[in-house]
Amino acid sequence: MLIDSIKDDEIIDIQVNGSFYRRVQALFFHFISEKDPEYIKKAIESINAGTADNEIFTAHLQTITVLMREIEEQAKTQGKISQNEINTDGLSED
């Protein structure tokens, strides 16, 4: 059986819209929603240390984060970012 694949060093240009980006954001928040904040902090530290591949959750967190960041960076470069007011009532400052 053959499957399509992309070489690790290939760069692919894609276009996404804001709706898709919001779905990726929702995926991110769903993905971390049941994790303890300390666990997430340690996962981020692992990503920053370059050891994200040592645990599946951390590797997936890094994948989602990189995707979101790239979409955001491209949107900024193209002048397609808008500022939106959000309600922060009830959120702690920790």
* pLDDT tens by residue, 27-76: 999 999 999 999 999 999 999 999 988 899 999 999 999 999 999 999 99
Distance CA 4, CA 26 (A): 28
Q: Name the residue type at position 90.
A: G
Q: Name the residue type at position 79.
A: G
pLDDT surpassing 90 at residue 83: no
Query: What is this structure's pTM?
Result: 0.77
Distance CA 33, CA 80 (A): 28
Distance CA 36, CA 39 (A): 5
| Cβ pair 43, 57 in contact under 8 A | yes
What are the tokens at 69? 């960041």
SS3 state at 93: coil
Distance CA 48, CA 65 (A): 12
How much is the average pLDDT of 21-26? 95
